[in-house]
Structure 1
């Protein structure tokens, strides 16, 4: 089940436990999967973001789009194609009929 929560960064907690108030700034190195802390004395320390490499983190909206973009694009293309096909069929049906009243019925939207 998709929860769409913000992912909690374990590295922040590890670094806070190690250094406490001696941290000036922290940044996330997503490529390496680590959190890097800049300390008061000018040094840096880092900690991994995951407790276990195989751990399944909660899904976020961004991760769902990143993983399923091909499927979502395919569904969108199918819906657009079906809408175009229905419009073309309606226009063709209206064109086949020689009766102007039928053309008006098939092309007009009734608000009632």
Structure 2
């Protein structure tokens, strides 16, 4: 995988301030972008993202930690669903002993 440094200073400043930017310039000494705002204040943003930062894995944009969390949550919900289905099947099997057939007569059949 080819990792390149991305120039993002302009994007960061546009996201922060939008239409309130009067001018922008590149400060080569600090490798950052400096913006002068309409009210006279100055803001700066770094122009490079380090290639050593953790990057999303795969085309879905999920990191390995995200995949692990989603797997755990999916497994927990699947287990809960299996317990609920088992409970319904147990109630259907032992329904006559528990009097559920009389209670089911009060609900309309679909």
TM-score range, shorter chain: 0.3 to 0.5
Higher relative contact order (CA 8 A, sep 6+): 1
Which structure carries more helix by proportion?
1
Give the TM-score taking structure 2 as reference length.
Answer: 0.40
